[in-house]
Amino acid sequence: MVNGQEDSDGTLIPCRKGNSWEPVIDLVTGEIVNWLVGTEADVHYKVCDVGEYWLLDADKQRIAKWKGYYVPDDILCVGDKGYGDYIAFKVGADGMVIGWKKPYLHAEQWVPV
């Protein structure tokens, strides 16, 4: 759902690039930094094994990639269960993930690049 409208084909969601969804989330605050302010969303995307999850430095350069083949539930499922297949959270009009808690990142789960 985006601004109260069903978005089953993903054309309304901010942060879309081609056929990909590429939000950049500040892990400390839960702010989606490339979000279109004023847009609210209830995100529930089935990703399965095709997602890629990256840690970025202050200059937004990739520094590490998630080792797993599944969605990192501890980070991308806020207030819901993703079972390794889903990204699930709500975004307020201010671009903040509602209910966000700063995640603990286990070094062994990331591959430096």
DSSP the chain: -BTTB--TTSSS-TTEETTEE---B-TTT-BBTT--TT--EEEEEE-TT----EEE-TTS-EEEEE--SS--HHHHBSSS--TTTEEEEEE-TTSBBTT--PPPPPGGGEEE-
Does residue 7 fall inside a structural domain?
no
Task: Please count the structural domains in the chain.
Answer: 1
Does residue 88 fall inside a structural domain?
yes
Does residue 37 fall inside a structural domain?
yes
Does residue 6 fall inside a structural domain?
no
Does residue 36 fall inside a structural domain?
yes
Whether residue 66 contacts residue 52, with contact meaning beta carbons closer than 8 Å, is answered with yes
What is the reported pLDDT for 19? Answer: 87
Does residue 24 fall inside a structural domain?
yes
Digitized pLDDT (tens) for each residue of the chain, 113 residues in all: 999 999 998 999 999 999 889 999 999 999 999 999 999 999 999 986 778 999 999 999 999 999 987 899 889 999 888 888 899 999 999 999 999 999 999 999 999 99
Does residue 5 fall inside a structural domain?
no
Does residue 96 fall inside a structural domain?
yes
